């Protein structure tokens, strides 16, 4: 399987979009010197790195993407229940898309070429 799976393309696009949009949206907090701004911007950059890594067929990017969304589930524990449920559902969908057998094979083939 040489072609980029549609599932990987969708997840990568979401991570790139969320990462870039989040970075832009929160940038004013960084320039204003907010206490959590650096951590927020690093989180957004992590999403971008993960999205790029997925498109470049890097196996570590699957794990980074999963860690990123699990982190969001964890911090959603302190937010309203609907937000937690949405993040948990997204976590399940992303995990399934990135770790199902066909997708895992695509990443494994990449690793065997190196």
Which range of residues forms the domain containing residue 37? Answer: 6-113
Answer yes or no: is 93 within a domain: yes
* Choice between 111 and 14, residue whose per-residue pLDDT is larger: 14
CA dihedral 9, 11, 15, 17 (to 10 degrees): 60
Tell me the C-alpha distance between 51 and 4, whole Å: 13
Answer yes or no: is 19 within a domain: yes
Number of domains in the chain: 1
Shortest CA distance to 75 belongs to which of 46, 40, 50, 45? 40
Answer yes or no: is 1 within a domain: no
Answer yes or no: is 72 within a domain: yes
Question: What pLDDT, in 10s, does the model give residues 18-53?
Answer: 999 999 998 888 888 888 889 889 999 999 999 999
Question: What pLDDT, in 10s, does the model give residues 78-111?
Answer: 999 999 999 999 999 999 999 999 999 999 887 7
**pLDDT score of 113 more than 80:** no
Answer yes or no: is 84 within a domain: yes
Q: Global pTM?
A: 0.89
Question: What pLDDT, in 10s, does the model give residues 54-68?
Answer: 999 999 999 999 999
């Amino acid at each position: 399987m040489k072609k980029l799976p549609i599932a990987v393309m969708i997840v990568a696009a979401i991570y790139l979009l969320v990462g870039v949009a989040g970075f832009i949206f929160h940038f004013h907090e960084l320039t204003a010197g907010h206490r959590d701004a650096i951590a927020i911007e690093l989180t957004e950059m992590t999403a971008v790195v993960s999205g790029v890594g997925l498109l470049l067929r890097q196996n570590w990017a699957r794990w980074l993407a999963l860690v990123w969304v699990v982190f969001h589930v964890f911090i959603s524990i302190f937010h309203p229940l609907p937000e937690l449920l949405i993040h948990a559902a997204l976590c399940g969908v992303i995990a399934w898309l990135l770790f199902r057998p066909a997708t895992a094979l695509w990443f494994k083939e990449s690793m065997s070429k190196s």
